[in-house]
Structure 1
Amino acid sequence: MGRFIYDSTLTLTLDDALLGHLQAVVGAKFRLQQSFYFSWGYPANTGESRTMIWLTPSISVQFHYRTARPPALDRDRISEFLAQANSPSGLVLVIGD
Structure 2
Amino acid sequence: MGRFVYDSTVSVTLGDDLLAHLQAVVGAKFRLQQSFYFSWGYPANSGETRTTIWLTPSIPVQFIYRNARVPTLDRDRVNDLFAQANTPGGMLLIVEP
TM-score range, shorter chain: over 0.9
1:10-89 pair list within 5 angstroms: 10-89=10-89
In the alignment, the residues of structure 2 paired with residue 60 and residue 94 of structure 1 have an alpha-carbon distance, to the nearest angstrom, of 23
Question: 1 CA distance for matches of 2:3 and 2:45?
Answer: 23
> Identity over aligned residues, as a percent?
71
Considering only aligned residues, what root-mean-square deviation do their CA atoms show, in Å?
Answer: 1.0
1:4 to partner: Cα distance: 0.4
Which whole-Å CA distance do the structure 2 matches of 1:75 and 1:60 have between them? 25
Amino acid at match of 2:21: H
Where in structure 2 are there 5+ consecutive unaligned residues?
none
SS at match of 2:71: coil
Q: Could you tell me which amino acid in structure 2 is paired with residue 18 of structure 1? A: L
Shift of residue 64 of structure 1?
0.5
Q: Supply the AA of the counterpart residue of 1:68.
A: A
User: What is the TM-score normalised by the length of structure 1?
Assistant: 0.96
Unaligned runs of 5+ in 1: none
Structure 2 SS opposite 1:39: strand
